[in-house]
Structure 1
């Protein structure tokens, strides 16, 4: 039977349902299973299958304690009419490369792929102690996109509530409005004074606060769980789109079954690219996974030197969702690459917590670098790439995708290996930056910028984004980092 335990110890033995409900292990580690890769997905059978069918096969391999019927229901609810493209994650040619659009969901960001299905997974989990009044409070820090996608997924979902923290003044106007106007009786949104890493670290501390957990359980029948990619239920749905990309390449006769593919992935928290590693473990012929960073290039430095060091200047960039210095999901990759060495992982994470840095052994780094490539783009390069992509391909990309587009241009090309760039957000989430890059009028509000972008490029702004202009702002709270715990407690009492 497939069981899940922490990356830092093997004492837990949870089912996937229990791991999803819990979110993070008691010792601060992330849930992993040693069965990953024992079940392979038959890639020869992928051609012509709709996204939903591919999802059923991939998720069936990753979450075996969900029944076929449960998964079918979750998938049908998550990948239906709320998507603007029936292929869910369509693959499109882009010059000599391909682009995988992950932003056709309700909040125009790749997080929708996972956060439309996570609440459905949660609904099939049960309280550990049989407390039928127990509610799950989803607690999440966001660097921009997770927040809205989680809010949209969990709003008014039975048996749940959600509290989202975002760094004040460090997300785009559109991203902030997406969160602050969210409808739903069970949602709370709050800005914090600090950056994303501050907020994420505080959220992890809150998860580890045993006293608070006991108080929330006793006073409000509330348990905390996560919608960040530290939750295994957030991570595994993202594995599906790597298989979907491969299926579409097969269908378009770009590759034959078994041919290898490269993926270039804009990533901050390492979840989006880790899903590609999981796909490889499940049998997908992945040749390289290339980490594309912005100016906060902590992952680039790690992959080139073997030293992870978060003690460095934090830059606020035009690709805010990647402005992260502590890439939580790296821990899972290190666990698998070190062949399940929980002592090593525990030691590395302890070093990170105490000294802000750790160094991996040389043989482990060599193994990692065999699969993972890396590159990064500064602000000017991001702007240049948005312009370059439009000029060459008549295709508009957002600043996060532009980081990956830049890194792809820098890499040596193997003409026999197709390369897929993951596009993580609609350019309409960042219309001002995109307009500036394209030399269009970027004065006025983000909504005026959207109109200009639409008119000048012949593309259409997603209706949900444009509708934010007239939506009522419901949440204006701002707290210091050390006020987050009180905010969570008050939110739980109000349930």
Structure 2
């Protein structure tokens, strides 16, 4: 039986359902399974399979205590008519390379892939013999995209509530409106004074507050869980689209079964690229995973030197969802590359908490660098990448995808190894930045910018984004970091 325990100790022994429901381990670590990779995904007939069929194979390998019928129901509900493309994550040519569009879901960001299915996982993870009145409060900090995707997934989901915190003034106008106009009787949203790392660290502290947990359970019958990629149920659905990309390359006769592929992944919190490593462990022929960062290039420095140091200037950039200095999912990667050395992981994370930095052994870094490459783009390079991609391919990319596009173009191309760039968000979430980069009209509101972008490129803004202009504002709270705990308690009491 596959069980899950913390990256920092082996005292837990939870099922997948229990780990997903709990979200984060009591010691602050992330849930991992030592049987990852024991079950491989058969590639023999993958080219003939739909996204939903591939999802069943991959999720069945990763979450074995969900029955096939349970997974089929979750998949059918998560990957249906709410997607703008029947492929769910379509692969398209981009010059000699390929782009994997992860933004065709209801909130126009890659987070939809996981956050449309996570509430379905949760609904089937009710604790046996527990409190019959127990409700789950999803608690999430967002750098821009997770918040809306989580709100859309959990709004009015039975037995759940959701509270989302985002950094005040550090998300795009469209991203903020997506959250502050969210409908649903079980949702709460607040801006916090600080950056994403401040909010994320506070959320982790709240999860570790046993006194608060006891109070919420006694007063409101509420337990806390996470929709961030610290939750294993958020991470594993992202593994599916790596296999889907491979299936589409096979269908397009770009590769033969067994050929290797490189993936270039814009990421700040490391979950999106870690999913690619999980895919590799499940048998996908992944040659390299290339981490693309923005000016907050803490991951680049780590992958180059083995030293992780968050004691550095924080830059607010035009790719706000990647403005992160503490990459939570790096902890899972370190666990697997250190062959499950929980004492080492606990020590490293303790150093990060107390000193803001840690250094890994040289032999560990050498192993990591055989799989993971890295690069980064500054603001001017991001703008230039958006312009270059449009000029050369007549394809519009958002500023996060542009970090990846810039890094990919710096890499030496191997004609025998296809390169797939993961496109993480619709350009219409960042229309002002995109228009500025392309020389289109960037005056007026973000909605005027959307219209100008559509007219100039012959593309169309997703209806859910364009409709935000007339949506009713529901949330306007701005709170201090130290006010987050009481905000959560009030939200739980209202459930």
Range of TM-score over shorter length: over 0.9
Which digits, 9 at most, give the CA deviation of each residue in 1:418-462, with x for residues without a partner? 000000000000000000000011000000000000000000000
- The DSSP-based 3-state class of the residue aligned with 1:434 is helix
Q: Name the CA distance, whole Å, in 2 between partners of 1:122 and 1:418.
A: 37
Unpaired runs of at least 5, structure 2: none
The TM-score, its normalising length taken from structure 2, stands at 1.00
Q: Name the CA distance, whole Å, in 1 between partners of 2:163 and 2:443.
A: 33
- The DSSP-based 3-state class of the residue aligned with 1:351 is helix
Tell me, yes or no, if the aligned pair for 1:127 and 1:134 is still in contact at 8 Å: no
Q: Structure 2 vs 1, CA of residues 129 and 198 (structure 1 numbering), >3 Å: closer, same or farther?
A: farther
Residue 91 of structure 2 corresponds to 91
Deviation for aligned residue 1:45: 1.5
Residue 396 of structure 2 corresponds to 396
Deviation for aligned residue 1:128: 6.2
Residue 104 of structure 1 corresponds to 104
Residue 74 of structure 2 corresponds to 74
Alignment of 1:24-423 (within 5 A): 24-127=24-127, 130-423=130-423
Q: Greater shift after overlay, 122-131 or 219-228? A: 122-131
Residue 491 of structure 2 corresponds to 491
Q: Name the CA distance, whole Å, in 2 between partners of 1:132 and 1:115.
A: 25
- The DSSP-based 3-state class of the residue aligned with 1:256 is coil
Superposition RMSD on alpha carbons, in Å?
0.5
Q: Name the CA distance, whole Å, in 2 between partners of 1:25 and 1:427.
A: 36
The TM-score, its normalising length taken from structure 1, stands at 1.00
Q: Name the CA distance, whole Å, in 2 between partners of 1:489 and 1:388.
A: 48
Q: Which runs of 4+ in 1 moved over 2 A?
A: none
Q: Name the CA distance, whole Å, in 1 between partners of 2:212 and 2:25.
A: 16
Deviation for aligned residue 1:126: 1.5
Which digits, 9 at most, give the CA deviation of each residue in 1:303-324, with x for residues without a partner? 0000000000000000000000
Q: Name the CA distance, whole Å, in 1 between partners of 2:236 and 2:140.
A: 18
Alignment of 1:445-460 (within 5 A): 445-460=445-460
Residue 10 of structure 1 corresponds to 10
- The DSSP-based 3-state class of the residue aligned with 1:43 is coil
Q: Structure 2 vs 1, CA of residues 128 and 361 (structure 1 numbering), >3 Å: closer, same or farther?
A: farther
Aligned length: 495
Which digits, 9 at most, give the CA deviation of each residue in 1:209-249, with x for residues without a partner? 00000000000000000000000000000000000000000
Q: Name the CA distance, whole Å, in 1 between partners of 2:283 and 2:422.
A: 20
Deviation for aligned residue 1:129: 5.4
Which digits, 9 at most, give the CA deviation of each residue in 1:170-204, with x for residues without a partner? 00000000000000000000000000000000000
Deviation for aligned residue 1:44: 1.7
Deviation for aligned residue 1:48: 2.0
Deviation for aligned residue 1:127: 2.8
Tell me, yes or no, if the aligned pair for 1:136 and 1:159 is still in contact at 8 Å: yes
Which digits, 9 at most, give the CA deviation of each residue in 1:40-88, with x for residues without a partner? 0011210121100000000000000000000000000000000000000
Q: Name the CA distance, whole Å, in 2 between partners of 1:412 and 1:13.
A: 44
Unpaired runs of at least 5, structure 1: none
Q: Name the CA distance, whole Å, in 1 between partners of 2:478 and 2:452.
A: 32
Q: Name the CA distance, whole Å, in 2 between partners of 1:494 and 1:327.
A: 32
